[in-house]
Structure formats: C-alpha cells, structure tokens
Amino acid sequence: MAAVHGARAQVGMAASAPATELYELISGDLTLTEDLFEASGLIGSRDHRAERVRQNTRRVSGSLTFQPNAAELANLIPRILGAAASGTTYDIAETLPSFVTVIDYVQTVMTYSGCVCNRGTFRATQGGPLELQMAVEGLTHSSGAAGTFPSLTLNTATGPFIFSDAVISV
C-alpha cells in the first residue's frame, strides 16, 4: 500500500491490538516490503524459471508524520524514548516498547504489529505547527476487511503545538 489517501482514511495505535488511540495523520508510508531471492544461474535458456524464485526477507518499515497536541505527545514520546513519563520528564531507556499501528485505507484495514520507533524527528518553522515524524520498523502485518477499524475519537482537548509555543534551551 502507498501513502494514506482519501478523506476517510485514519490511523490508530496502541500497546497491543486493537488500536485505542486515534491520530490525525499528516503523511505516512508505512508498508510491508518483501524481498525475493531469484537464482540467476545458467539453464540453457533465456526463460525465467518462476519455480526458482523464493520469498526472502519481509519487513514493515516507513514513516508516520503527525502534528501532535499535548495528549498525543504523552503517548508518542514514550514510544520514541522508551520510558514512561515521570511528571513532565522523560528518561531514555535501553529498550523501546513495541506497539501496534492500524491504518484504515477505507478499502482495507492494515494492522502492523511489533512496531518500534526507529527515529523521532521534531521540526517546526516560524508560524507553523510542530511536526513529529516517526520512522517505524515492524515485524508483521495483517489485512482486515473494510469497516473493521475500531470506533475511536480524536483527542481535541487542545490543539496542536505551534512554533510560537516553544521555549528552546540548549
């Protein structure tokens, strides 16, 4: 599957299935990639021998970009750093927690399991919203029928962070 398309597409996450957190996805390309092994030996012909092609590695990989609010960041930062919050302080852990990402492509619902955040990139420009791009690696995926995405509500208690909200210390 390519990036999410359509006004009705949605993305959810949770520590395990089913998804319990709904996010507004700005862009994303999380997908399953399958590599094939193809023997390229000589067989006395130019014909391609399909019987000699084998499935090799499979991996879930891609990125998800959000414009998060405070409640969403409280869920996403521990996935990036590996440790739960202690008040408003986040420690860095040696291991990252795995999570499930569910993407409703309208025609099908894809569930990506065993996901971990490979990299979290925050960026903002003057007058614009804070963006978080999560590079995600996962183990498996499964495909569900249209309409099987859980009924979730987007957290609208606060709006997304804007660059002018920031206080930066180095």
Q: What is the pLDDT of residues 33-54, one digit of tens each?
A: 888 887 777 677 777 777 778 8
CB neighbours of residue 102 within 10 Å:
26
Do the Cβ atoms of 21 and 114 come closer than 8 Å? no
Question: Is residue 51 classed exposed, middle or buried when 0-12, 13-18 and 19+ CB atoms within 10 A define those classes?
Answer: exposed
pTM above 0.85, yes or no: no
The pLDDT mean for the chain works out to 87
Dihedral sign computed on CA atoms, order 57, 132, 93, 84: negative
Model confidence pLDDT, tens digit, residues 109-140: 999 999 999 999 999 988 899 999 999 999 99
Answer whether residue 5 shows pLDDT above 80: no
| Confidence (pLDDT) at 7 | 63
Residue range 147-159: average pLDDT?
88
Answer whether residue 155 shows pLDDT above 90: no
Do the Cβ atoms of 133 and 65 come closer than 8 Å? yes
Q: Tokens standing for 94?
A: 């040696």
Rg of the Cα atoms in the chain: 19
Do the Cβ atoms of 32 and 105 come closer than 8 Å? no
Model confidence pLDDT, tens digit, residues 58-86: 889 999 999 999 999 999 999 999 988 88
CA distance 57 to 108: 24
CA angle 142, 119, 82 (to 5 degrees): 85
CA angle 115, 74, 103 (to 5 degrees): 40
Answer whether residue 163 shows pLDDT above 50: yes
Question: Is residue 19 classed exposed, middle or buried when 0-12, 13-18 and 19+ CB atoms within 10 A define those classes?
Answer: buried
User: What is the share, in percent, of the chain residues with pLDDT greater than 90?
Assistant: 46
CA distance 136 to 80: 10
